[in-house]
Structure 1
Amino acid sequence: MKRIGVLTSGGDAPGMNAAVRAVVRKAIYHGLEAYGIYQGYQGLITGNIQQMEAGSVGDIIHRGGTILRSARCPEFQSAEGQKKGLEQLEKYEIDGLVVIGGDGSYRGAKAITELGYPCVGVPGTIDNDIPGTEFTIGFDTALNTVIDAVDKIRDTASSHERNFIVEVMGRNAGDLALWAGLAGGAETIVIPEDPIDMESIKVRLLKGLERGKKHSIIIVAEGVMSGNEFAEKVKELTGIETRVSVLGHMQRGGSPTAVDRMLASRLGARAVELLLAGKGGRAVGIERNELVDYDIIEALSLPHKLDLDIYRLSKELSI
């Protein structure tokens, strides 16, 4: 192992830069050359690859987004596209690859692994939906962004005695909605992992009105439906008008929290250690604050698990 490549793929997540920094500097510390692959798998196919020095990743640990940039690449889903990518890795004599990203990025890493090339996945997504790790890089920062927005929306909801629906990201996972809902004191949380029960939501809202409640916050995960669709359903059932706030892509941006910087640094460095030990085809994660790694092919077959105890607690505390 003399040269290690690193790329970021899929939706950007705060902390990706910290992970890139860790991979590059850990590699250099151990006497390896580090190569940055720009624009994800698209850049891998086209050969948008540059050697990186320690200074190349200076002053980026606090920055959101990714200096390596990201791009969608349908071509890499084909055998021909994967072959082109592998040819570029061979051309630059890169002996191992670190892929930082979410579910789609892992599928690309899986394809490379199945071609016999040493590859390690690092979970970078605000959705927190990667199996084999309790937390993904970017989740904590996005969570704090959502909570900050909910706190501000609550001020207006209270002042005007209105009900607000806040739509948050997360794809098909409800982690961001659930954690933000509990931490932000939301009265109702709607997530994909629990079948939507509009009658129960109706009863909860009407009971709140009966006891003199003047406002409420409802967090809706985008994987269930849009905030506007949900607002229409609420109005049809209860006659209650709501205001809708769609937080959108602001959840992906911003300076990463200390938690995400620490996680990214630890996972990025661990990925390099695995490649140095000759362990390709792995993915890294964190469980009970301990670093773990697992077979990346097997991992993608596992279901994402949401902590339903937190969901039950949110209902108990929002009576």
Structure 2
Amino acid sequence: MKKIGVLTSGGDSPGMNAAIRAVVRKAIYHGVEVYGINYGYAGLINNDIHKLEIGDVGDIIHRGGTMLYTARCEEFKTPEGRQTAIDHLNAIGIQGLVVIGGDGSFRGAEKLTELGFPTIGIPGTIDNDIPGTDFTIGFDTALNTVIDAIDKIRDTATSHERTYVIEVMGRDAGDLALWSGLADGAETIIIPEESYSMTDIVKKLRRGHERGKKHSIIVVAEGVGSGPEFGQKIQEETNLETRVTVLGHIQRGGSPTAYDRVLASRLGAHAVELLLDGKQGCAVGIRNNKLVHKDITQVLSETHEIDQEMYRLSQELSI
């Protein structure tokens, strides 16, 4: 293999640039040319492909976002679109592709592999919802962003003796809510993987208020419902002054943490190694701090699961 490509797709996450850097430098170290594809799968179809040299990925390891940009592409979901993408890759002589992104990006990589084009997926999403890996690139940074925000909100909640509902990202995965809620001592954590009772939440808030508790923090994953709606229900049920903060896209930005930089570097290099070893249709990941890879179709067939022990602990500590 003499030429490989790399792209980022779907939602951006801190650490994607570090992964791109690792792919480029690892490949060049082994005498392989690397081509960057702008705007994900849309760039493949539009032939927005350019060669990357060592200097092109200098001074990006600390930057959030992605230097290759990202976009969603409906045309790639069609057989004609995928064939156009492969034709453009073949015209340049690119023999393998590294895709950095979430489950939607992985499905695109799976389709390319089915058509005979060697592709490796790297999990990059703040949701941490990709099976087969303990952590995805960007989760740790987003988690620390959320924790910092909740710390600041708690100062205000304490000063004004209010209940605060904080909506965090996560779509169908509650990892951001669970980890941040546990780290910040939230009184209630509401995630899509677990059922909840508004009656129980209200009872806990009233119980705390009766024993002299001046404020409460409730963390809600966006996949469960609207933070403002939860806040309205809680105020109506408890008559406690309640405020709502929706953290939104601030969670995706910022300089990646040391952990995300190292994780992205390791996964990026491992993806290149797999391509050079003749592997394809794999998703790389990390388990117990060891690099692993798994069939991407198998990964996509599995369901992300929350850490039940951690969830139970959060309930036990928030009495």
Q: Same fold (TM over 0.5)?
A: yes
2: CA distance, partners of 1:309 / 1:197: 20
Q: CA deviation at 1:239?
A: 2.6
Opposite residue 297 of structure 2, the aligned amino acid is I
Report the equivalent of 1:244. Answer: 244
Aligned twin of 1:27: 27
Pairing 1:55–2:51 present: no
Match of 1:156 in 2: 156
Quote how far apart the aligned CAs of 1:236 are: 3.2
Per-residue deviation, residues 123-169 of structure 1 (Å, max 9, x unmatched):
00000000100100000000000000000000000000001011000
Structure 1 position 26, deviation (Å): 0.3
Q: Which residue in 2 is equivalent to 1:140?
A: 140
Give the 3-state SS of the residue equivalent to 1:300 in structure 2. Answer: helix
Where in structure 2 are there 5+ consecutive unaligned residues? none
Runs of 4 or more above 6 Å deviation: none
CA contact (8 A) 2:162 2:240 kept: no
Check if 1:171 corresponds to 2:132: no
Normalised by the size of structure 1, how large is the TM-score? Answer: 0.99
Aligned residue for 1:165, secondary structure, equals strand
1:74-85 alignment to 2 at 5 Å? 74-85=74-85
Deviations, residues 22-42 of structure 1 (Å, cap 9, x unaligned): 000000000000000000000
* Deviation of 1:185 (Å): 1.1
- Secondary structure in 1 matching 2:301: coil
**Aligned residues with identical type, % of pairs:** 69
The answer for the alignment partner of 1:45 in structure 2 is 45
TM-score (normalised: structure 2): 0.99
Deviations 1:32-88 (A, max 9, x none): 000000000000111000000000100000000000000111111111111111111
Where does residue 113 of structure 1 map in the other structure?
Answer: 113
Contact 1:231 1:241 in 2 (8 A): no
Q: Say which SS state the counterpart of residue 164 (structure 1) adopts.
A: strand
Q: 1:174-216: CA deviations, max 9, x gaps?
A: 0000000001111110000001211111111110011010101
Write the distance in 2 (CA, Å) between the matches of 1:10 and 1:136: 14
Cα distance, 1:240 vs structure 2:
2.6
Q: Structure 1 CA distance, aligned partners of 2:107 and 2:25?
A: 26
Instruction: Tell me the alpha carbon deviations over residues 106-139 of structure 1, each in whole angstroms, 9 at most, x when there is no partner.
Output: 1111111111110000000000000100100000
For residues 296 and 95 of structure 1, what CA distance do their matches in structure 2 show? 18
Please give the alpha-carbon distance, in whole angstroms, between the structure 2 residues aligned to 1:91 and 1:183: 51
- Equivalent pairs counted in the alignment come to 319
